[in-house]
Amino acid sequence: MADRTRVLVVGGSGYLGQHLLATLATAEGETPYDLAFTHHRPIPPQELVDAVSPVMYFRVDLCTGEGFESISTTFGKPHVVVNCAALSVPRACEVDPIEAMATNLPASLVNWLSSFRDSNILLIHLSTDQVYEGSKSFYNEEDETTPVNMYGKSKVAAELFITEHWSNFAILRSSIIYGPQTISPVSKSLIIQWIDSSLSHGEEIEFFHDEFRCPVYVKDVVNVILALTKKWISDGNQIKLVLNVGGPDRLSRLQMAEAVADYRGYDRSLIKPVSASSINRGVKSPADISMDIGRLIEVLRINPISFKYGVQLTLENAS
């Protein structure tokens, strides 16, 4: 393995991508990283570029693959590629299934990786807990993937494509990722910050009491990616791995809101329980896609933090 490890973060201007780049840019150790990221918007966020410099950035169209060749000629062959890019709003995927499949199935990325001679690049791909049907608790990685919506279906298709067309990969089935805002604030709503803001204004808000997830703190996801990267650098052996990446707690959105209220000291009576079946969101949503994270703990020796502690870390320095 080369002295300096080249890491490319696809979708680096998104929520997870920014947190990952920030950590890689400040990582201590014997093997420093050369960093690059892709972005879809016309120009990358300058705050991010300044914060993680030196870094190279490339505008890439994942649907067509336009832009990948410039990475080859300027940045060179990466050792590790982390694919964070996705159309991840389930309703948006339902409205435009063609766009969802074109964006979420990384055919152009894998085809580009295949263009390197004797390529043994590690591809770390972010998938989702929504590949599971949602009819039981604590899914493990061997359970059947029978998603109920287009977002989940596009992610299952992506997993199958990677396993069939690439030989060195780790697929991370992530639950809801939460944590602090990014260096360059993302436009999407962050669940903890949204709950906090709403309750701080004394608003009564309805939360589902019967839809369960294992929300995971963003820096735990980053640590999983770092651990896989270091494992690949040190061992040099091909990886073929699917991991559930969730937090240790099975929670409804009602329970998530209560945890925020308890930390801030808000009145719990503002939080109103409602059944997920009573709301038409324009897309089917799995009822219980809580995950067993035993394999994650066993393979990488990583124990994700509790939701309660994650809320504290998210809000303690928030304005």
Q: Is 29's pLDDT higher than 80?
A: no
**Stretch 252-261: mean pLDDT, rounded?**
98
The size of the chain, in residues, is: 319
| Residue from 40, 56, 32, 57 nearest 108 by CA | 40
Helices 307-315 + 191-200 axis angle, to 10: 70
Q: Is 319's pLDDT higher than 60?
A: no
88-119 pLDDT per residue, tens: 999 999 999 999 999 999 999 999 999 998 78
Could you tell me the CATH number of the domain that includes residue 89? 3.40.50.720
Residue 87 belongs to what domain range? 5-182+216-246+289-305
Q: Is 251's pLDDT higher than 90?
A: yes
Distance between alpha carbon 128 and the CA centroid of its chain, in Å? 8
54 three-class SS: coil
158-185 pLDDT per residue, tens: 999 999 999 999 999 999 999 999 999 9
User: What pLDDT is stored for residue 176 in this prediction?
Assistant: 97
Consecutive H or E run containing 97: helix 97-104
Q: What is the CA radius of gyration of the chain?
A: 19
Please name the residues in contact with 155: beta carbons below 8 A apart, sequence gap of 6 or more: 86, 104, 127, 128, 130, 131, 147
The torsion defined by the Cα of 217, 188, 196 and 175, in degrees rounded to 10, comes to -30
User: What pLDDT is stored for residue 27 in this prediction?
Assistant: 80
| Residue 234: pLDDT band with limits 50, 70, 90 | confident
User: What pLDDT is stored for residue 1 in this prediction?
Assistant: 46
Taking residue 269's Cβ as centre, other Cβ atoms within 10 Å add up to: 8
Query: Does residue 150 sit within a domain?
Result: yes
Query: Does residue 276 sit within a domain?
Result: no
pTM over 0.75: yes
Query: Does residue 275 sit within a domain?
Result: no
User: What pLDDT is stored for residue 317 in this prediction?
Assistant: 77
Query: Does residue 153 sit within a domain?
Result: yes
Residue 128 Cα distances to 16, 111, 139, 140, angstroms:
13, 22, 12, 13
Query: Does residue 187 sit within a domain?
Result: no
Query: Does residue 86 sit within a domain?
Result: yes
The torsion defined by the Cα of 305, 307, 312 and 318, in degrees rounded to 10, comes to 110
Query: Does residue 267 sit within a domain?
Result: no
Averaged pLDDT of the chain: 95
| Residue 47: pLDDT band with limits 50, 70, 90 | very high
Query: Does residue 48 sit within a domain?
Result: yes
| Residue from 269, 254, 249, 267 nearest 309 by CA | 249
User: What pLDDT is stored for residue 163 in this prediction?
Assistant: 97
Total of domains in the chain: 1
